Structure 1
Amino acid sequence: MPSSPDPVFAGLGQAVQIGTNLLATLMVGGGVGWSIDSYVLPTQPWGLVGGLVLGLIAGIRNAYRTAQRLS
């Protein structure tokens, strides 16, 4: 992603990137957990909860790695 000459817009772009990554990992984790609950195991709601927790962990890890790379 090309850097913006204005530091405000550059910081805003980085924040949007981190937020989007966090949201995407939560959605994927929740979707996988819901799918496991619905189609594989009758463990409702624990598959969804586990998927959301794993998605949150992955999202925080990605946000940390992105912040380290951008700083």
Structure 2
Amino acid sequence: MFGFNGKVQILAPESVKEQYRQMIEKANEEKMHIRRSIQLLFSEIGYLVIELLVKNCIARTEQSTELRV
């Protein structure tokens, strides 16, 4: 295995090439899984923030209505 300008070139044997390919593939899959998890987390946080804002607006509206009555 030799490195050159940030690129890896595996000359031999074929089994090492295949193991390296599988390692890179697995790392990419894990990266995508982490990215999806983070997106879901931010989506869930976004929904919670919206829910809190709506509840806050409703509470303020109810308070305003009570003061007028």
* TM-score, with structure 1 as normaliser: 0.52
Structure 2 gaps of 5+ residues are 1-7, 49-69
Residue 27 (structure 1) aligns with: 34
Figure out how many residues of one structure are paired with residues of the other and give that number: 41
Residue 41 (structure 1) aligns with: 47
* TM-score, with structure 2 as normaliser: 0.53
> Looking at CA atoms only, which structure, 1 or 2, has the larger radius of gyration?
2
Residue 53 (structure 1) aligns with: none
| Bigger strand fraction | 2
Calculate the aligned-residue CA RMSD, in Å.
Answer: 1.1
